[in-house]
Amino acid sequence: MRLIGNILWIVLGGIEIAIGWAVIGFVLCITIIGIPLGLQAFKMAGLTLTPFGKTVQYGGGAGSTFANIIWIVLVGIWMAIGYAIAGVLNCITIIGIPFGIQSFKMAKLALWPFGAEIVDA
């Protein structure tokens, strides 16, 4: 199921979104200040490319909480809203429910990426 889900995900638009995240990551890494944000964009690109079979584990710490607050203010809220809307639209049909679940997983990571680690399920 994991392989089939990832292939369908890539064919139906996952590759474009992952490339977009990677481009954003490269642009953010141009400046020293943007490198932490760029690394989070690369994390999102990796999850967006093959979301099936992966889970997100959240760590913590004062530094990651502060960075997440800055991330939410700059881009996180808008990305999370976009992924949540995509998740709702995917869940309208029975066939789209697995894709909707992946969109909700990415919405959570888009909202709070610092301190999170993507691991195989």
pLDDT in tens, the chain (121 residues): 789 989 998 988 889 889 989 999 999 899 998 899 899 999 999 999 999 999 988 887 777 888 888 889 888 899 899 999 999 999 999 999 999 999 999 999 999 898 888 898 8
Domain count, the chain: 1
Q: Are strands 116-120 and 54-58 parallel, antiparallel or unpaired?
A: antiparallel
Q: Which of 40, 27, 39 is nearest to 72 (CA)?
A: 40
46 near 118, Cβ under 8 Å? yes
Residue with tokens 């977009």: 20
User: Which residue segment(s) compose the domain that 83 sits in?
Assistant: 2-120
Say what the pLDDT of residue 12 is: 86
Say what the pLDDT of residue 91 is: 94
Q: % helix / strand / coil in the chain, to the nearest 5? A: 70, 10, 20
71 near 91, Cβ under 8 Å? no
